[in-house]
A = this chain, B = another copy of it.
Amino acid sequence: MSDARANSRAGDAAPQSIWTRPVRGSRGPVPAYSRDAIAAAGIALADADGIAAVSMRAVATALGTSAGSLYRYLSSRDDLLELMTDRAIGELRPHPSGGDDWLAGILLLARRQLALYGRHPWLLDLLPRTSAAGPESLAWFDTCLRILEPVDCATAAKFEAIAMTTGVVSLFARRRAGSSSFALTGVDLTAHPHLAAALRRPVGGPPRADLFDRTLRILLTGLLADEGPDHA
């Protein structure tokens, strides 16, 4: 009987997202900074020194204002991160039109996404945490669906395929960004015979330059092409 801040109250509370929040009020002076400029400042800091360098004070200083002032535009630091995420995804424009070969189209999208991760490695940390998809994310998703339009399968399967594709892209991006290698110094290898044997063996040539395309091709044909038009 207490706790009146539950949902479905008279003053319908918005979901507290940046995208539902009005860009500016209709009463006061015009804001000095745009959302895009704020996001760009955060992205510049993240590109230079990692996501940990993106503090409210650092972004505010880069913009020429103070930390408290940023809360006129954002309700939290997470809002800033979502702004940065969506602006980075906006760099994927212009979206390819895609021809009749849907697999080639998705592969092109995947390569663009991989390049984006290369330019902004911090996206690997932010993308899985986005609570509400921003406008650029929605547009990108719409493009994915458009390219998959000739595929005749259930809608849920397309969603799964898109999610799995972006996931696999992030896996490749992470391996490229991170050190990816083990730090085996001072490890007792006698207790791990198979690992020791694998390391004793020569690595075996370059690591298959086309592994990215190969993996996605395998995955997508297996997930989409093998299916009949079941379920609507």
Which A residues are closer than 8 A to B by beta carbons?
Answer: 14-15, 17, 19-20, 124, 128, 131-133, 135, 138-139, 141-143, 145-146, 149, 154-160, 163-164, 167-168, 171, 174-175, 178-179, 182-187, 191-195, 197-198, 201-205, 207-208, 211, 214-215, 218-219, 222-223, 230-232
Contact = CB atoms under 8 A, between A and B. Distances in A.
Contacts of A20: 185-186
B205 A133 contact: no
Secondary structure dominating the interface of A: helix
24 contacts: A15-B183, A19-B186, A20-B186, A132-B182, A132-B183, A133-B183, A138-B182, A145-B197, A154-B205, A155-B204, A156-B203, A156-B205, A156-B207, A157-B204, A157-B208, A164-B168, A164-B171, A167-B171, A171-B171, A204-B232, A205-B230, A215-B222, A218-B218, A218-B223
B215 A231 contact: no
Given A19-B186, A167-B171, A232 B160 contact: no
Contacts of A17: 183
B167 A198 contact: no
Given A185-B15, A201-B232, A194 B156 contact: no
Contact of A145 (B163, B168, B195): B195
Contact of A222 (B133, B156, B214): B214
Nearest to A133: B182
Copies of this chain, complex-wide, total: 2
Given A171-B167, A175-B163, A223-B215, A204 B231 contact: yes
Contact of A193 (B19, B142, B187): B142
Contacts of A207: 156, 160
A50 B141 CA distance: 29
A155 B208 contact: no
Contacts of A201: 155, 232
A211 B160 contact: yes
B15 A194 contact: no
Contact of A192 (B139, B179, B232): B139
Contacts of A211: 160
A52 to B, nearest CB: 12
A123 to B, nearest CB: 13
